[in-house]
Amino acid sequence: MSSKPVPKPTPETQPFWDGCSAGELRIQRCKPCDAAYFYPRPFCPRCGSDEVEWFRASGRARLYSYVINHRPGPGFDEDAPYAIAVVELEEGPRMMTNIVGVENTPENLVLDMPLQVTFERRDEMAVPVFQPAVEGGTR
């Protein structure tokens, strides 16, 4: 069992977390804007429309920015030093995450490197984390 922080959904964010548990990165899109957005809200933060829908994002992203934290947060003692990163999804929105599948060093973590989503269990939940993308593939 992990002692890392476990997010607790609200009614409005439940579909996002259900997607994570199912191994899918589900986010929202505004139909009039034809643009994806994050974090979850039942209306478009750009135009205010409530004509929005959930969809499965590709999971492809690029590394936007990060720090490598040497003072571990709760549950992260064995991970330190670890990157706390912001990634930009192929569909446009950005989200905070961790980078897995590679030692978290400045040399390994190059801004704009391609990444692919994967999911990490937290109790009954799963949170999206990202790993370096395999060349030419989507895994």
Tokens encoding 54: 């959930």
- Identify which range of 21-29, 47-55, 68-76, 131-139 contacts another protein by CB under 8 A: 68-76
Least distance CB 94 / another protein (angstroms): 6
How many CB atoms within 10 Å of residue 93? 18
How many CB atoms within 10 Å of residue 81? 14
| Residue from 93, 101, 97 nearest 128 by CA | 97
Least distance CB 75 / another protein (angstroms): 8
Q: Does 28 bind another protein (CB under 8 A)?
A: no
Half-sphere exposure of 67 (CA within 13 A, CB side): 4
- Identify which range of 28-36, 49-57, 82-90, 131-139 contacts another protein by CB under 8 A: 82-90
Least distance CB 125 / another protein (angstroms): 8
Q: List residues near another protein by CB under 8 A.
A: 4-10, 13, 17, 38-39, 64-76, 79, 81-82, 84-86, 94-98, 106, 111-112, 122, 127
